[in-house]
Structure 1
């Protein structure tokens, strides 16, 4: 498993303190379990943040060197990109001077050049791996020292251990083209080379360590160490890049032996930043926390010791040793605090302990003990006494719990009564509800109900809204209580009746809506809902707010779909009543406006459709009878724009208009009807015919004024123009034959303005002038 993400804050927790390191890897029999289960909740990634937190908490002057910061950052992905492995190993060994690192790198390169020069060109991978081990032992690996993980010390003095020898071997092996890796085992590390399906273990601490898994004499292999193991479950392979972490790890072990736990922890985390899966470093870090906390506790720094253990558990919450140390330390500290009458402080410590050990009886008992002792000094503080007793019950054995509960019930009730006497109703109710949540008995429940009622009754005469809010809160807490329900319903009824009297129907409906939402199954509430809607609808229709009335129906039925049938019945009944009333008064515009909305909202209702058509027909009849042609024209204009597809409606209007035009003998009436028909494009021919008819009637009735007025509006229509020309000829002849010369002159002069190119009219006009001159 690869852990690549970390929370800087949690890392800061981790490095706040350290503890005595394991100083070595776990025992062999548990090593496979260590490899299988990573002990940390998070994987380290920010050493600088960790070191800063460490310095702040412990006041220990620890830093990561300037060169180490980019090195550790570069290693977060498990490999070095900006540093070579040899340079990384030198930095980990403490060589911070760049020039000095260059010197050592040249030494390594020189060793590589020498080996490559000595090897034949086509040497096999196996022979290269074998020769490299022999060469190093012959020329560089001179003295074994278990503490010497430093690569520079190996290069300078030939002193080595498993870490430095395997690392040098692997650096050179990679340069020679070998597929080499490091292997971690209990208390040891070595190398392994792969090639063409073969694997050769390289025990670098011994010149006889090549292919150690198949060695006949293991004593030669383990001449300096017994750490080499063949069992795969006890081995963990790592890249050569990650093997650099072993240097930091061993430095952490050395510091741990010196009881420098903080510095040791820093080194372990440097190792973990390079090798995220270095479980042994994790284990040693956890032990550092435990040892360091004990060290602080022994010096009387208990609070700081607890911080260390808690931070350790933040990192490794399942570690039994850390948990046990935390428990014992917190328990003993709390006992000392109780004995010194520092009850609040003891409770704080114990409550914090309970977060880690929530089911521990001893901690619960100690909390009760501290609070009960404290309560002896606060007898008049009912709330505090109640809290003390609650804690006592939580920690008490079954045989004494009933007695404590009895005392608690009395405290709850007395404190609530005390608050009601001060008119602190909300506090009293809160106290009762706290007790009811613990199922303290029916007496508390009855007193709780009575408190709500007393509270509401004390203010309902002066502030009904507040009284309603009180009952609503009571219903929310106990909706089954019928006395709350009946009281709140009465108050709501008063509120919406008041709004109805003020004709604030929207507000009245809002009140009944709230009541309906609380009691949707109460028939009385439903009836009131319908009644308020009916009054609201009547008000809108009466005040001619038809669009509002229709929209209101849509809104209400959307909000109360389950009451659609009842609301629809009210809507249609009230609308029908008012529409027919308007129709009886011949106010068809209002009646039709009401029915237009009905048709839109209830398109499936055939009766509404038929009534609409009937009212439309009667309205047209009425307008015609009253000669309200402007009203008819306005009506037809609206029909054309809003109902262009309603053929039946159009036909009703057209039929009635044509029928009336056929019956009347008044030119203006026929002319007005023709204008109305212009709103129906399909009736243009009929309209033109009626215009001609109005012109004919004007001619027959010798109404020249009407003749010219009617024609002036339709002079652009060829059919009408042709017809008018003929009428002009006939009417002009009538006037000439009757020798009404002045009238004939005016008529022909008017005709000439309409037909300026008509020669016949010009001739007649000249003749009439001659007659006038005689």
Structure 2
């Protein structure tokens, strides 16, 4: 069991090292998508085929573009002449399922994978059907719902839906006759129409964007947020849709949050600052930036680098991405820790007192914190004075404390402690003089003590003792 735990720990360490050692992802738009997004007309047949393979992330796009075109050419040759548009649309779907599509896989959106293995989903099958049908002269329209994609044939003023994931999906809702190739008997297939209440016609660019969207979703399910960043940018550039823009910003914040989770604060900050300089800011990336900045500053102050933390905060704040509240909260956190460091480092009392007063007046220390730290500063200085100059000087110093701290219980305890220790010192001196027969000096020292603590019973008793001695 221990060995298994060790192996798991090593594997986790390897994963974290790989994440932390990676370079930042590409944040500029791919020139290819800029080019095909730059004109207002729909994509040509060649552009659509090329874009679908390119968006699939193929290692050898030219090979699959050629294979895609060869498939379409073979399909067109196989179509019987004289077919109506309805018949042609149905024949194309059946051909693709007989000769290309083999197994439906929900996440298999890449066109090159379909061409290589036959595995497909609604997006990849719809893209291939669109390209093949248009090459055959059909007027086809890509359609999407919240979680599905399909195609519509526009013919003679009618709209005929095509569920490309099903061999019998042409014009769903209609009973389809078929003849069994083995027995020769005739049967029927029926594909029910989908729930298309939220259907939306989409452009060719948006259809290609669905390939990118599905790839992004797959990467995010595997926690690979780094590689999803450039794909999200490309999808936004290609489609220009509000949805793609929102998803792009979500991808930025997801990757930054991933870096935050493994302690790569500076890397996450660097990424967000760069990406927002290019693509602008949005709510989620800004929230991720503030979380990263806070953790980076916290890591600095925990190392005793409060001044470095203040400089870092000022530099990031100059970019105008942090909210005023975030800046104020972080500065207060740094000043709070700097105060503790100053107190623990034994800085001179006036230095700490001035720092506390300035920080308090600027609003970075609450009243309760200012009182707490001021009292602690008095405690440290009282200890120093008691060691170097005696308890009288410590008591006189503490008794001059500002009015704002005098009701504090620890301050009152300090004041009483200094007073009591001074009284003990006076009493001990009195006892030494008295026991050695130096009565005048004994009386002088006790009267000096009573001038400071006139109501103290111990010193009053000492004075009475020496007075009785002097009368005999």
**1: CA distance, partners of 2:299 / 2:70:** 64
Q: Secondary structure at the match of 2:256?
A: helix
**1: CA distance, partners of 2:138 / 2:96:** 16
1:393 paired to 2:359: no
Q: Is the 8 A contact 1:149 1:250 kept in 2?
A: yes
Q: Is the 8 A contact 1:368 1:392 kept in 2?
A: no
For 1:149-298, list aligned pairs within 5 A: 149-212=109-172, 221=191, 229-232=195-198, 235-277=199-241, 279=243, 281-298=244-261
- Taking only aligned residues, the RMSD between alpha carbons, in angstroms, comes to 4.5
Which residue of structure 2 lines up, in the alignment, with residue 133 of structure 1?
A: 93
Q: Flag structure 1 segments of 5+ consecutive residues without an equivalent.
A: 1-56, 402-774
Which residue of structure 2 lines up, in the alignment, with residue 636 of structure 1?
A: none
**2: CA distance, partners of 1:332 / 1:156:** 47
1:313: Cα distance to partner? 5.7
**1: CA distance, partners of 2:61 / 2:290:** 47
**2: CA distance, partners of 1:220 / 1:338:** 69
Which residue of structure 2 lines up, in the alignment, with residue 590 of structure 1?
A: none
The structure with the largest alpha-carbon Rg is: 1
**2: CA distance, partners of 1:176 / 1:130:** 12
Structure 2 vs 1, CA of residues 272 and 358 (structure 1 numbering), >3 Å: closer, same or farther?
same
For 1:356-367, list aligned pairs within 5 A: 356-360=322-326, 362-363=329-330, 365-367=332-334
**2: CA distance, partners of 1:185 / 1:303:** 40
Deviation by residue 1:16-42 (Cα, 9 ceiling, x = unmatched): xxxxxxxxxxxxxxxxxxxxxxxxxxx
For 1:77-88, list aligned pairs within 5 A: 77=39, 79-80=42-43, 83-88=46-51
Q: Is the 8 A contact 2:72 2:135 kept in 1?
A: no
The equivalent position to 2:52 in structure 1, one of 73, 82, 89, is 89
The equivalent position to 1:330 in structure 2, one of 260, 269, 293, is 293
TM-score by length of 1: 0.36
Q: Is the 8 A contact 2:175 2:191 kept in 1?
A: no
**1: CA distance, partners of 2:45 / 2:124:** 22
Which residue of structure 1 lines up, in the alignment, with residue 74 of structure 2?
A: 110
RCO comparison, higher one (Cα < 8 Å, 6+):
2
Q: Is the 8 A contact 2:33 2:234 kept in 1?
A: no
Q: Is the 8 A contact 2:25 2:229 kept in 1?
A: no
1:162: Cα distance to partner? 1.0
Structure 2 vs 1, CA of residues 152 and 113 (structure 1 numbering), >3 Å: closer, same or farther?
farther
**1: CA distance, partners of 2:230 / 2:292:** 25
For 1:460-609, list aligned pairs within 5 A: none
The equivalent position to 1:74 in structure 2, one of 9, 33, 36, is 36
Q: Is the 8 A contact 1:179 1:195 kept in 2?
A: yes
Q: Is the 8 A contact 2:301 2:334 kept in 1?
A: no
Structure 2 vs 1, CA of residues 257 and 193 (structure 1 numbering), >3 Å: closer, same or farther?
same
TM-score by length of 2: 0.56
1:182: Cα distance to partner? 1.6
Q: Secondary structure at the match of 1:250?
A: helix
Structure 2 vs 1, CA of residues 359 and 258 (structure 1 numbering), >3 Å: closer, same or farther?
closer
Structure 2 vs 1, CA of residues 319 and 380 (structure 1 numbering), >3 Å: closer, same or farther?
same
Deviation by residue 1:226-270 (Cα, 9 ceiling, x = unmatched): xx54123xx443223442233333333333333332222222333
**1: CA distance, partners of 2:117 / 2:166:** 17
**1: CA distance, partners of 2:138 / 2:196:** 21
Q: Is the 8 A contact 2:300 2:308 kept in 1?
A: yes
Which residue of structure 2 lines up, in the alignment, with residue 307 of structure 1?
A: 270
1:167: Cα distance to partner? 0.6
Q: Is the 8 A contact 1:129 1:178 kept in 2?
A: yes
Structure 2 vs 1, CA of residues 215 and 265 (structure 1 numbering), >3 Å: closer, same or farther?
farther
Structure 2 vs 1, CA of residues 63 and 344 (structure 1 numbering), >3 Å: closer, same or farther?
closer
Q: Secondary structure at the match of 2:363?
A: helix
Structure 2 vs 1, CA of residues 385 and 127 (structure 1 numbering), >3 Å: closer, same or farther?
farther
Q: Is the 8 A contact 1:89 1:247 kept in 2?
A: yes
Q: Is the 8 A contact 1:265 1:285 kept in 2?
A: yes
Mean CA deviation greater in 74-83 or 99-108 = 74-83
Q: Is the 8 A contact 2:161 2:170 kept in 1?
A: yes
Deviation by residue 1:440-479 (Cα, 9 ceiling, x = unmatched): xxxxxxxxxxxxxxxxxxxxxxxxxxxxxxxxxxxxxxxx
Which residue of structure 2 lines up, in the alignment, with residue 448 of structure 1?
A: none
Deviation by residue 1:373-406 (Cα, 9 ceiling, x = unmatched): 6888698899x968982674234558999xxxxx
**2: CA distance, partners of 1:82 / 1:388:** 73
Q: Flag structure 2 segments of 5+ consecutive residues without an equivalent.
A: 1-20, 177-188, 371-472
Structure 2 vs 1, CA of residues 317 and 153 (structure 1 numbering), >3 Å: closer, same or farther?
closer
For 1:38-77, list aligned pairs within 5 A: 58-59=22-23, 69-70=31-32, 73-77=35-39
Structure 2 vs 1, CA of residues 173 and 264 (structure 1 numbering), >3 Å: closer, same or farther?
same
**2: CA distance, partners of 1:394 / 1:155:** 66
Q: Secondary structure at the match of 1:231?
A: coil
**2: CA distance, partners of 1:297 / 1:63:** 19
1:145: Cα distance to partner? 1.7
**1: CA distance, partners of 2:357 / 2:54:** 60
Q: Is the 8 A contact 1:375 1:385 kept in 2?
A: no
